[in-house]
């Protein structure tokens, strides 16, 4: 490790913000993704101000040291994984909510603000920040922006990209740039704000974000519908969307996922079902909307339709869905979580294909999905200590992505590319697309210091 690097960083940072103990820095080496290489960082820095971030980037540029930005490291693609000799730039200490404006319906926040903390804070003003990833209690807004994350409510309210109005970004050379606006409208120049959303820390360091808010909707009610097959459940999804209904949530859990959640949390979900569909409405009369959707589910073959009677029952069902990925991981100890999004009309073909792939490789593959968006999360469960099982897990993961592309979908709806899906990004966007994206990267980061080895 270069003493010069550490000394230069310490010159502009508090002593407690520069971590060099190898045991400590190793704990920052990777996110939650499996099968993703991670290196040994030279140093971890935890700045609290924009000026400190600028100092880090100026130092990195001067010494040509790579920088890996990180939030809470809840990501699932290896995008936050360290590279050998890098500076890990953890933004979790920049966690202030700077402004909440009920008139302008915006919040101004630092990147380390936890998603759930923001949601609760704006709720006190009668406002609502819709994007709610399953890890919302721990993931940060900066990480959400970096991966363009979604959540359970995106079928009605959309994903993170639709709520980021403006950004302050520290560039690779330490300059500070502002993008976007605070206003409801704005079309001045190229939309650089959208360019940074989903860029996985490869173009610049987000140090402040202006986020759009909505009025707090009425309390939602949830309906659970059991189906004898995933195709019947997917047919119900298509019928609901074709009928013009606007649920605030439309989620699917297959048989494997339901059983896993019960095993983890003893929630009493119906294990006899092949697919459990959760639908929710936050309209002025959610009971009427649930009744209409319940009738469509029955017409599609649902064996039982149970609307929640109150908010407590609704929250229990939502908690079951949020526990899905943790429950599947508990089956074998390790998972590969896919993130394939397909047109809603192809949802049944996707889920049936995943089941065939699981059978082919002799593996347990559970699926939970943001069904209203066609965004599926096939989760391959495997024993990481068994090399053959690990090989089969990786091969099945690749076949699932290939199936998604074959059905007209994309390799990632909200988790990002990171390390895990680099070769698949090239397959999806083609050589010209890769060339143009690399040109954009070079314009913002000519020395390729920001999150090297990710995306391409």
Domain boundary among 215, 236, 251: 215
Q: Which residues contact 106 (CB under 8 A, 6 or more apart)?
A: 99, 100, 165, 182, 210, 211, 212, 213
pLDDT at 375: 96
pLDDT at 3: 65
Residues 277-330: pLDDT tens digits?
999 999 999 999 999 999 999 999 999 999 998 889 999 999 999 899 999 999
Q: Is residue 270 part of a domain?
A: yes
| 269 lies in the same domain as 374 | yes
pLDDT at 2: 53
Q: Is residue 439 part of a domain?
A: no
Coil, helix or strand at residue 215: strand
Backbone angles phi, psi at 7, to 5 degrees: -65, -40
List the CATH number of the domain containing 181: 3.30.465.10
Q: Is residue 411 part of a domain?
A: no
Containing structural domain, residue 104: 97-215
| 176 lies in the same domain as 78 | no
| 71 lies in the same domain as 149 | no
What percent of the chain is predicted at pLDDT more than 70?
99
How far is Cα 364 from Cα 366, in angstroms, rounded to an integer?
6
How many residues does the structure list for the chain? 456
Coil, helix or strand at residue 232: helix
The number of distinct structural domains making up the chain is 3
Domain boundary among 90, 108, 136: 90
How far is Cα 324 from Cα 48, in angstroms, rounded to an integer?
34
Q: Where are any strands of DSSP class E within 282-415? A: 304-307, 334-337, 340-341, 364-370, 375-382
| 285 lies in the same domain as 388 | yes
User: Are 409 and 340 contacting, i.e. CB atoms less than 8 angstroms apart?
Assistant: yes
User: Are 253 and 276 contacting, i.e. CB atoms less than 8 angstroms apart?
Assistant: yes
State pTM to two decimals. Answer: 0.94
| 260 lies in the same domain as 325 | yes
| 69 lies in the same domain as 176 | no
| 227 lies in the same domain as 202 | no
Residues 43-69: pLDDT tens digits?
999 999 999 999 999 999 999 999 999
Mean pLDDT estimate for the chain: 95
Residues 84-102: pLDDT tens digits?
999 999 999 999 999 999 9
Residues 200-241: pLDDT tens digits?
999 999 999 999 999 999 999 999 999 999 999 999 999 999
How far is Cα 406 from Cα 225, in angstroms, rounded to an integer?
29
How far is Cα 38 from Cα 423, in angstroms, rounded to an integer?
17
pLDDT at 35 over 90: no
Q: Is residue 330 part of a domain?
A: yes
pLDDT at 34 over 90: no
| 304 lies in the same domain as 234 | yes
List the CATH number of the domain containing 75: 3.30.43.10
Q: Is residue 454 part of a domain?
A: no
Q: Is residue 428 part of a domain?
A: no
b/e per residue 151-190 (b: at least 16 CB within 10 A): bbbbbbbbbbbebbbbbbbbbbbbebeebbeeeeeeeeee
């Amino acid at each position: 490790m270069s003493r010069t690097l550490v000394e230069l960083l310490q010159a502009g940072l508090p002593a407690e913000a520069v971590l060099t103990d190898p045991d400590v820095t190793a704990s920052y080496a990777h996110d939650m993704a499996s099968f993703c290489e991670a290196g040994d960082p030279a140093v971890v820095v935890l700045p609290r101000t924009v000026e400190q971030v600028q100092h880090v980037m100026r130092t990195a540029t001067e010494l040509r040291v790579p920088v890996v930005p990180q939030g809470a490291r809840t990501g699932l693609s290896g995008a936050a994984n360290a590279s050998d000799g890098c500076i890990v730039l953890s933004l979790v200490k920049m966690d202030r909510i700077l402004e909440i404006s009920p008139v302008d319906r915006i919040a101004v926040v630092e990147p380390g603000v936890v998603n759930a903390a923001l949601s609760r804070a704006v709720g006190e003003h009668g406002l609502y920040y819709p994007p709610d990833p399953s890890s919302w209690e721990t993931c940060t807004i900066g990480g959400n922006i970096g991966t363009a994350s979604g959540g359970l409510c995106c079928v009605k309210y959309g994903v993170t990209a639709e709520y980021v109005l403006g950004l302050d970004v520290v560039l690779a050379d330490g300059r500070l740039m502002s993008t976007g606006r605070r206003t409801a409208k704005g079309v001045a120049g190229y939309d650089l704000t959208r360019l940074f959303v989903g860029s996985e820390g490869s173009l610049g360091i987000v140090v402040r974000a202006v986020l759009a808010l909505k009025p707090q909707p009425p309390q939602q009610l949830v309906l659970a519908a059991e189906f004898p097959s995933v195709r019947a459940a997917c047919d119900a999804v298509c019928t609901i969307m074709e009928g013009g209904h606007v649920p605030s949530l439309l989620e699917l859990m297959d048989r494997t996922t339901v059983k896993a959640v019960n095993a983890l949390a003893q929630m009493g979900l119906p294990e006899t079902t092949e697919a459990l569909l959760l639908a929710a409405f936050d309209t002025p009369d959610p009971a009427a909307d649930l009744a209409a959707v319940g009738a469509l589910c029955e017409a599609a073959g649902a064996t039982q339709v149970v609307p929640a009677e109150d908010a407590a029952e609704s929250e229990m069902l939502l908690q079951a869905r949020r526990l899905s990925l943790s429950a599947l991981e508990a089956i074998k100890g390790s998972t590969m979580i896919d993130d394939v999004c397909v047109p809603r009309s192809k949802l049944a073909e996707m889920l049936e294909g995943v089941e065939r792939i699981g059978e082919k490789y002799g593996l347990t593959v559970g699926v939970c999905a943001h069904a209203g968006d066609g965004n599926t999360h096939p989760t391959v469960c495997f024993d990481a200590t068994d090399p053959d099982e690990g090989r089969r897990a990786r091969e099945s993961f690749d076949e699932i992505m290939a199936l998604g592309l074959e059905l007209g979908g994309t390799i990632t709806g909200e988790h990002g590319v990171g390390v895990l899906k680099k070769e698949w990004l090239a397959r999806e966007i083609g050589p010209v697309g890769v060339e143009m994206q690399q040109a954009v990267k070079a314009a913002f980061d000519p020395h390729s210091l920001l999150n090297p080895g990710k995306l391409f």
